[in-house]
Amino acid sequence: MFGFGKKKKPAKISVGADFMDLESKGVTPSRFGDTGSFISTRYLDRKYDYKRAEHLYKSNALANRIARLPAETATRNGWRLIINGNEKKQIAYQTALDALHPKEKIAQEIIYGNVISDAYLNVNVDEADKTALDEPLDPHNILKVNSINAFSQMHVKTNRVCNDPTLENYGEEEQVVLEGLSDGSEDNFKEPESITIDSSRYKHISLDKMEDDATGTSLLMRCYDQIKTLDTALYSTGKMLYEYNTKVWKNDAFFDLPEDEQRKYNRRMEQGWTTESVVAIGKEDDIQKISTNPGGIDSLFEFSWQQLSTATGIPKSILMGEQSGTLAGASQDVINYYDSIRAIQEQIIRPQLEWLVKLLMWSQDVGDGSEDPDSLDWTIEFYPLWTQTESEKIDNLSKLANALKTGIDGGFLTTDEAHDILLQQTTNESIPIQLTGDSADNGITDQERKSFAKEKAEIEKHLTGAKKHGKKT
């Protein structure tokens, strides 16, 4: 077990700006690349780059949405564990899996990956014979799976990866070394030693990692130019709205006044002319309102949104919250987006869930004790990415019932087999059904059946003796 609380350090003074492109305020740069951001784009070191991404995630609403949206979409509706032919174990393992809060933890892990570039999901277990974290996790030694935690590359000092292409485990990570961590208390005056964790105790996701890269690439850093462009557009729009109408007062006599009198008139006009006020002027005076002409700016905004959508792989309608979350009438780009989310589910989430389920099956405190996951017929099923209405759920149940009836009428299924199929749907949120027990024995367990048979035999024995006692001789 370990914590991620760093020792508290004195707060540093930071200089902020109203928008990202600081140096272009009031200046027309000769080239777009000449402008500078509020955080230097020079790569001083890896930790500094992580801080850039973290600050962008916390301070920019658009960057926050880009990082969070794929993670929340992929985990929002969840999943379920299916164990064919054993409803009791299915419920037991599903309950144990839910107790680890995998939806929240995996979503957090994906967000860390989008922001920082690399993220990890580690598991904490109780073992019969306690072993060190840098030793491989023996599944036969697990007593209980306590929790899972997500953390980012910011806590990692070293990734130990095999870089010998002549070996079978080339490119595989063997261990990760975490920097000096503390338990979160304020009494830690000495930096603790690094912690080494074996790869069998965690899962690691990395975005756009090339062959010789130590780490992946942050999604926010990859889209930095597009985010900066829209941030500049927001700032410019605000300035345009603030200065949308400019009032011009034509008066030659004003320039003949002393400077003190001019400043006094300026202050009065600034205070009074910020609204649609009434002004009394002489016959030689003239007042005009000059409005900003925003013609064509919508085309610039549309281009900026298209660039951001291309860079992130998220359609503009979803980024802006225009998509309702159902597939009815959805455009092709929205359907393609859901396909990309399914790829995240299959390539990242499913392997991690299967890893957790296997550890739960090997543990001693779930179900009937430790058992080999390969001895059970089980799988993970993801719920639809879009939210189903109650009428759609009832329609799913109707379709399933009709399919089972067709199977029974055609002789492909027996009544008990159809009932077992229905039992497997009791944890399916897409089908509103609650069934218990077996159609033949109304939920009687093997132990109850044996006890009943024993009592029946005793009763029959006493009845046979009574008949013999009352028999005439």
Residue 468 has pLDDT above 60, yes or no: no
Mean pLDDT, rounded, of the chain: 78
- For residue 349, which of 217, 219, 216, 205 has the smallest C-alpha distance? 205
Residue 31 has pLDDT above 80, yes or no: no
Pairwise pLDDT comparison (99 vs 5), residue with the higher score: 99
* Measured distance CA(358)–CA(466) in Å, rounded: 57
pTM confidence score:
0.70
Q: Where along the chain do its domains lie?
A: 1-6+36-219+329-387, 245-291, 388-462
Residue 44, pLDDT score: 43
* Measured distance CA(318)–CA(337) in Å, rounded: 9
Residue 5, pLDDT score: 42
Residue 8, pLDDT score: 44
Q: Evaluate whether 115 touches 53 at the Cβ level (below 8 Å).
A: yes
Residue 442 has pLDDT above 50, yes or no: no
Among 2-16, 139-153, 414-428, where is mean pLDDT lowest? 2-16
> What percentage of the chain reaches a pLDDT higher than 90?
35
* Measured distance CA(413)–CA(376) in Å, rounded: 22
The CB density around residue 119, as the number of other CB atoms within 10 Å, is 27
Tens-digit pLDDT profile for residues 247-295: 777 877 778 889 888 888 888 777 767 666 666 677 777 777 777 777 7
Please name the residues in contact with 286: beta carbons below 8 A apart, sequence gap of 6 or more.
Answer: 249, 250, 251
Pairwise pLDDT comparison (283 vs 470), residue with the higher score: 283
Pairwise pLDDT comparison (4 vs 323), residue with the higher score: 323
Tens-digit pLDDT profile for residues 189-202: 566 788 999 999 99
- pLDDT bin (cut points 50, 70, 90) of residue 412 is confident
